Amino acid sequence: MIDKHLWQGRIDDEDGELGLRFHQKVQSIEEAETTGVMLIGYACDEGVMRNKGRIGAKNAPSAIRKMLANLPWHHNNLNLFDAGDISCHDNNLAHAQERLAALVQNALVNHHFPVVLGGGHDVAWGSFQGLANHYAKGEIRTPPRIGIINFDAHFDLRTPSGSSLNGSSGTPFSQIAEYCQTHAWPFHYACIGVSRASNTHALFNKAETLNVLTIEDIACQPDHFSEISETLAAFMADLDALYLTIDLDVFPASIAPGVSAPATHGVDYALVERLIRLICNASDEHGNRKLKLADIAELNPLFDIDNHTARLAARLVWTITRSLSEPPRHIAKGVMR
């Protein structure tokens, strides 16, 4: 059942259906009789602690739901479900990620669109495993060509200590790269907004070795939108599926103070939102939307100011959900049509 203490907001009965808000549309996943957007909470900051960051991200899913609840519903022909939270009380990060993967996979099997609310960026390893387990069944070409698009100040390509079971919020894409290598799958990873001042030379070298599409924060300027969008469209063009992950520390600390590692430079929100809509609307030649999964990471309510970062996270969820209610557009030769 959904938590009614979180899903509360204004009610404008005089406006009928046109006055509805998220808290009036959300349903428990147990009530689902059709498909829709499925919210999954990842209430875990074990990975942040292992990465020597500021803990508190386990409180993020509830904070995002509270800010999302009162936003107006402009998402025609969509249903909204809340599947509750995955928690990590026993320090067993790998188990929490496995449980998240199972929920994501189940959502995809039942034709829902999962939006995961994190939590540390170790959420990405759980999210990806759910997507990979789904496509391992061979529903698309073998091996599947899955593209990961990460808006982040950090590559999160650190190598886990000892084994993949010792991952952290700094290792998810290294774990994904290892998975792809083990299964002979191609590794397609784009990191947008990465800060050279926040990543070591070793991490930049690793990204180059893995052929990561890297767009630094200093290059993410509004007047570079066309160039960035064309680069991103070329990256997406030949992929079967897309996974979008957004680390809130990609934004300047002035608008996203409530994160584990606040950004000095950051990327303008308006630019990120335009690129997200591009990603959400991408389709293949058959008109099938390529984006299959999205998550939000690294909100830390303990360090937030007047819920600025939580509101930002909610706006991102709103934007993604809104985009899913619009018809997708085909990408051909790296150009959106």
Q: Give the strand pairing for 329-332 and 335-336.
A: antiparallel
Count of domains in the chain?
A: 1
Q: Is the pLDDT of residue 325 over 50?
A: yes
| Single-letter amino acid code for the residue at 216 | E
pLDDT tens string 164-179: 568 999 999 999 999 9
pTM: 0.95
| Single-letter amino acid code for the residue at 301 | P
Is 322 in a helix, a strand, or coil?
helix
Q: Would you state the pLDDT for residue 337?
A: 45
**Does residue 316 belong to any structural domain of this protein?**
yes
**Does residue 1 belong to any structural domain of this protein?**
no
In angstroms, what CA-CA distances link 154 with 275, 282, 321? 18, 25, 25
Is 98 in a helix, a strand, or coil?
helix
Q: Which residue has the tokens 């998402």?
A: 75
| Number of residues that this document lists for the chain | 337
Q: Which DSSP symbol is given to 160?
A: P
Q: Residue 104 sits in which domain range?
A: 13-336
Which two structure tokens, joined as six digits, stand for 285? 């030649």
Q: Would you state the pLDDT for residue 4?
A: 82
Exposure string for 280-316, b = 16+ CB within 10 A, e = fewer: bbbbbeeeebbbbbbbbbbbbbeebeebbbbbbbbeb
Dihedral angle computed from the Cα positions of residues 194, 40, 324 and 77, in that order, rounded to the nearest 10 degrees: -170
Can you give the CATH number for the domain in which 293 is found?
A: 3.40.800.10
**Does residue 72 belong to any structural domain of this protein?**
yes
**Does residue 5 belong to any structural domain of this protein?**
no
- Between CA 101 and CA 122 the distance in angstroms is 12
pLDDT tens string 279-318: 999 998 889 999 999 999 999 999 999 999 999 999 999 9
**Does residue 318 belong to any structural domain of this protein?**
yes
**Does residue 8 belong to any structural domain of this protein?**
no
**Does residue 155 belong to any structural domain of this protein?**
yes
**Does residue 126 belong to any structural domain of this protein?**
yes
Burial classification of residue 337, based on how many CB atoms lie within 10 Å of its CB (0-12 exposed, 13-18 middle, 19 or more buried): exposed
